[in-house]
């Protein structure tokens, strides 16, 4: 009997963020005092009105099978949000697919459109699961490395350099995880030009759309001329509404573009629990004032934490324009995995090694600013600084 896994599964590595988070939980269970600066999910609990809506839906018996596309109420609420916040007009009947978390929606999109040997452009440093999901589809992730010295600027020339006859998709994360770059209008226009000239699909992850700072403004790739019909956009309730454990997200695209995703979705996740979706309706339609508070809290932390790390010789820590991380570069003669292990052993601080975000992430650490309360984040950054100063 052959008990070996499929080759494509053997090639895939666990996400660096989940590995770091699991290490934090294991050490905490062992009695270690741990400061978790690894995963991106906020430490906040889900706002009360959202929880109440979920409980009411449970009490109302919303616990059975549901439509694979998602409840009409949530799809309409999502269409209203897109018109309000993203400058997009979509048909809630066919242009929204509700998924159990954004990661599943991204998996649906990649597996629906990439065949064995197809190539997908992955802009690096990049979120930990894009390349791995492409590999699970037996396609080829092609790294498009951006330069830290150029502030991770995304240009037409850089993208075009990596396009081949096998390229079928370009994957964009805006604001970027882990660098915090918020791509400008000209940068997104470059993506649009490459996609249209080469007949590519665009897969755009807008997880951190509400977390931008100073003069940076989030723009939606699908809202650019000519891009709506070739762009699959991923949204999640995890960051803006602290709903990581609810597992709720969606993919937005023209109905014809979503049909292949629906086939994958129906054979895997099937549907999202109705009571979870009704909590999502409350999230989109209810009070939004917590967003400004959370964003300002994160803004203050990014300034204070970056200032402390900048005091460390050999550390370069630019202020991110968006998202909820710092991504400092260090000069110590250790790999990012070795440094992350040292931080856990010596100071009880869990961060994510930069190597998990692609080759360009080596020599960096990702420090999550919302994973722990503010005072713990600042204490954790102080401990990171102490270790780096000692090397």
d(CA 216, CA 90): 25
Number of other CB atoms surrounding residue 60 within 10 Å: 11
In this predicted model, what pLDDT tens digit does every residue of 251-308 receive, in sequence order? Answer: 999 999 999 999 999 999 999 999 999 999 999 999 999 999 999 999 999 999 999 9
Q: Check whether residue 182 and residue 255 sit in a common domain.
A: yes
Full DSSP string of 46-66: PPHHHHHHHHHHHHTT--S--
Q: Check whether residue 314 and residue 386 sit in a common domain.
A: yes
Put simply, whether the predicted model's pTM sits higher than 0.85 gets the answer yes
d(CA 120, CA 172): 11
Structure-token pair, residue 127 = 């979120």
Q: Give the count of domains, the chain.
A: 2
Residue 194 inside a domain? The answer is yes
Classify 23 as helix, strand or coil: helix
* The last residue of a domain, from among 258, 285, 312: 285
d(CA 166, CA 121): 10
* The last residue of a domain, from among 285, 317, 348: 285
In this predicted model, what pLDDT tens digit does every residue of 191-241 receive, in sequence order? Answer: 999 999 999 999 999 999 999 999 999 999 999 999 999 999 999 999 999
d(CA 369, CA 384): 13
* The last residue of a domain, from among 285, 317, 342: 285
Query: In angstroms, how far is CA 190 from the centroid of its own chain?
Result: 21
Q: Check whether residue 313 and residue 280 sit in a common domain.
A: no
Place of tokens 């723009």: 219
Q: Check whether residue 370 and residue 272 sit in a common domain.
A: no
Instruction: Provide the pLDDT for residue 33.
Output: 84
Q: Check whether residue 76 and residue 167 sit in a common domain.
A: yes
Number of other CB atoms surrounding residue 260 within 10 Å: 14
Q: What is the mean pLDDT of residues 352-379?
A: 95
Residue 159 inside a domain? The answer is yes
Classify 316 as helix, strand or coil: strand
d(CA 219, CA 60): 39
Query: In angstroms, how far is CA 208 from the centroid of its own chain?
Result: 7
Residue 134 — pLDDT band, cuts 50, 70, 90?
Answer: very high
Residue 9 — pLDDT band, cuts 50, 70, 90?
Answer: confident
Contact 179, 364 (CB under 8 A): no
Domain span at residue 272?
A: 48-285
């Amino acid at each position: 009997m052959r008990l070996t896994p499929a080759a494509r599964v053997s090639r895939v590595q666990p996400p660096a963020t989940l590995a770091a988070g699991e290490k934090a939980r294991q050490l905490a269970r062992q009695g270690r005092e741990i400061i978790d600066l690894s995963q991106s999910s906020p430490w906040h609990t889900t706002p009360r009105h959202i929880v109440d809506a979920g409980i009411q839906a449970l009490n109302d018996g919303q616990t059975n099978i549901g439509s694979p596309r998602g409840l009409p109420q949530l799809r309409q609420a999502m269409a209203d949000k897109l018109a309000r916040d993203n400058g997009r007009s979509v048909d809630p009947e066919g242009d929204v697919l509700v998924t159990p978390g954004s990661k599943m929606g991204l998996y649906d999109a990649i597996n629906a459109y990439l065949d064995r040997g197809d190539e997908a452009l992955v802009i690096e440093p990049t979120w930990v699961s894009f390349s791995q999901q492409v590999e699970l589809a037996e396609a080829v992730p092609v790294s498009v490395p951006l330069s830290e010295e150029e502030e991770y600027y995304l240009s037409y020339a850089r993208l075009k350099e990596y396009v081949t006859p096998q390229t079928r998709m370009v994957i964009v994360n805006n604001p970027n995880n882990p660098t915090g770059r918020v791509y400008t209008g000209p940068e997104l226009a470059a993506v649009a030009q490459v996609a249209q000239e080469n007949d590519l699909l665009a897969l755009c992850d807008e997880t951190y759309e509400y977390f931008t700072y100073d003069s940076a403004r989030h723009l939606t790739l699908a809202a650019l001329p000519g891009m709506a019909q070739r762009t699959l956009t991923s949204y999640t309730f995890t960051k803006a509404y602290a709903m990581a454990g609810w597992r709720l997200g969606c993919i937005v695209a023209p109905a014809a573009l979503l049909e292949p995703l629906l086939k994958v979705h129906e054979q895997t996740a099937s549907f999202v629990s109705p009571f979870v979706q009704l909590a999502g309706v409350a999230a989109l339609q209810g009070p939004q004032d917590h967003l400004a508070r959370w964003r300002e809290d994160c803004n203050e932390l990014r300034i204070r934490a970056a200032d402390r790390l900048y005091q460390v010789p050999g550390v370069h820590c630019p202020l991110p324009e968006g998202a909820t991380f710092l991504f400092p570069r260090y000069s110590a003669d250790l790999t990012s995995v070795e440094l992350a292990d040292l931080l856990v052993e010596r100071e009880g601080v869990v961060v994510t090694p930069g190597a998990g975000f692609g080759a360009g992430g080596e020599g960096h650490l990702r420090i999550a600013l919302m994973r722990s309360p503010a005072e713990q984040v600042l204490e954790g950054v102080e401990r990171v600084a102490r270790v780096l100063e000692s090397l």
